[in-house]
Structure 1
């Protein structure tokens, strides 16, 4: 999926003067991303397994 470059309405000055993300905040963001990715992968695997079971029964 391609993201639009124009969806962020922040001004350049706001972006350049914002304080950098702390290590703790970065770790929190990464943990959340990893948890979401794992949830999606597990759901995809479960969906695939259910599909295989249904195919075997028919």
Structure 2
């Protein structure tokens, strides 16, 4: 499945989009489902917390 068939979260508008509707700078994704794309801010925050915890563990 190519990126044009996946779902994206538009960071500027908060809209879920299918395919490359918006400029890349505004898109987060890709996601397999529209529901997953709608949760993009939550998913990105979870990933960011996990990366920060990994970095802290590596620094110790």
Note whether the superposition's TM-score is higher than 0.5. no
- Structure-1-length-normalised TM-score: 0.42
Larger radius of gyration: 1
More strand by share: 2
- Structure-2-length-normalised TM-score: 0.41
Larger RCO: 1 or 2 (CA < 8 Å, sep 6+)? 2
